[in-house]
Amino acid sequence: MATYQRIVLAKPADGIPSADNFQLDEQEIPAIGDGEVLVRNFLASVDPGMRSILSGTDSYSAALKSGEVISSASIGVVEQSNNPKFNIGDVVNGAFGWSQYGLSNGRGLLKLTDTRLPYSCNIGILGIPGLTAFFGLERIAKLQDNETVLVTSAAGTVGATAGQLAKAKGCHVTGIAGSDEKCAWLRDVCGFDEVINYKAVSDLDEAISNACPNGIDVLFDNVGTAMIDRVIPKMKMGGRIVVSGQVADYNKAPADRPGLKNTSFFISNRLRMEGLVVFDDFREFGRAKEDLTQRIVNGQLQYREEIIQGIENMPSAFIGLFTGESFGRRLVQIGELPA
């Protein structure tokens, strides 16, 4: 009997996840029913935002229960099909999680026919991270030409994409990242105006003020409350804070977070802070993906991917997101690429 591997939640995580929160198990490859397709997945993503469903309490997605497959975006190839919309050999973008195989009735499964970019982009810069950057700037920040933008966790795909899209609108863009290598890439390859290695500066407040001496119109934040609170006093009148991600807070209980204290600036400087989950924009995904694809093809939008090998390495790949070791979109190859 043919089997496949998947990774399930062993027990809910408290604080920074560790290997014992996860368990690799082996399952029989299921038989397909009427209207179904069997997908063999070869790429799956690790995302900091997934941390929220591992605590056992509901967030924007329902919390995972022990024994359930860890959720993620995935790319696979159709191996069997009882569904007229899908043929054997079709490459599809699904959400099968950390699992080498999955069954689907076809709903939510997207056939990938555009070959201008590698398949991996569909769960990277054309996937949730790139779309979050796109709609975070467009719908939440309502970014205007020539504004001043600060992006945190800037070397991640969300941040790097947001910064480059802002540059394309003539904005002055500063990125904060955690290594000289990341900063060099942001400045030299992505064209950021200013970069700050927060691990290397003695005074981050001063570094931000030096980079943005006239204040900040848009903070595109992927870090969390401490970063937002630090930047609030530097926001210009009418400034917007896009709450895109909170990598520094995901592993902390609310009571242990530093807390946003500079709220009086919300009144004095008419600030707006708003969070997004990009699934809300799904009707507009086509337009955004085409825009991003054209920019990449034209050499106007850069991205980085790290492809880690082996489903057994998914937990460590995920845990590493919280230590700053990752650089660019981190994906895991969990099966052979299609021919």
Point out which residues bind its own copies (CB under 8 A).
Answer: 49, 52, 59-60, 224-225, 228-229, 243-246, 249-250, 254-255, 257-277, 280
Q: How many residues does the chain have?
A: 339
How far apart (Å, rounded) are the C-alpha atoms in residues 148 and 215? 7
How far apart (Å, rounded) are the C-alpha atoms in residues 278 and 275? 10
How far apart (Å, rounded) are the C-alpha atoms in residues 112 and 293? 13
End-to-end CA distance of the chain: 24
Residue type, 110: L
Q: From the CB of 253, what's the least distance to its own copies, in Å?
A: 9
Q: From the CB of 48, what's the least distance to its own copies, in Å?
A: 11
Q: From the CB of 261, what's the least distance to its own copies, in Å?
A: 4
Q: From the CB of 62, what's the least distance to its own copies, in Å?
A: 11
Which residue is associated with the tokens 């990752």? 326
Looking at beta carbons only, is 173 or 276 nearer to its own copies? Answer: 276
Looking at beta carbons only, is 159 or 224 nearer to its own copies? Answer: 224
Q: Other C-beta atoms within 10 Å of 56: how many?
A: 14
Looking at beta carbons only, is 131 or 308 nearer to its own copies? Answer: 131
Looking at beta carbons only, is 195 or 248 nearer to its own copies? Answer: 248
Looking at beta carbons only, is 102 or 130 nearer to its own copies? Answer: 130
Looking at beta carbons only, is 63 or 112 nearer to its own copies? Answer: 63
How far apart (Å, rounded) are the C-alpha atoms in residues 72 and 334? 13
Looking at beta carbons only, is 180 or 280 nearer to its own copies? Answer: 280
- Alpha carbon 79 to its chain centroid, in Å, reads 28
Instruction: Provide the pairing of β-strand 37-45 with 22-28.
Output: unpaired
Q: From the CB of 64, what's the least distance to its own copies, in Å?
A: 15
Q: Pseudo-torsion of CA 316, 322, 323, 329, nearest 10°?
A: 70
Residue 156 and residue 185 in contact, taking contact as beta carbons nearer than 8 Å: no
Looking at beta carbons only, is 60 or 282 nearer to its own copies? Answer: 60
Residue type, 257: R
Structure token pair of residue 113: 């026919």
Q: From the CB of 140, what's the least distance to its own copies, in Å?
A: 9
How far apart (Å, rounded) are the C-alpha atoms in residues 315 and 321? 10
Q: From the CB of 317, what's the least distance to its own copies, in Å?
A: 22
Q: From the CB of 131, what's the least distance to its own copies, in Å?
A: 14
Q: From the CB of 49, what's the least distance to its own copies, in Å?
A: 8
How far apart (Å, rounded) are the C-alpha atoms in residues 57 and 14? 11
Looking at beta carbons only, is 236 or 257 nearer to its own copies? Answer: 257
Q: Tally the C-alpha atoms within 13 A of residue 307's C-alpha that lie toward its C-beta.
A: 15
For the chain, give the longest Cα–Cα distance. 67
How far apart (Å, rounded) are the C-alpha atoms in residues 320 and 328? 12
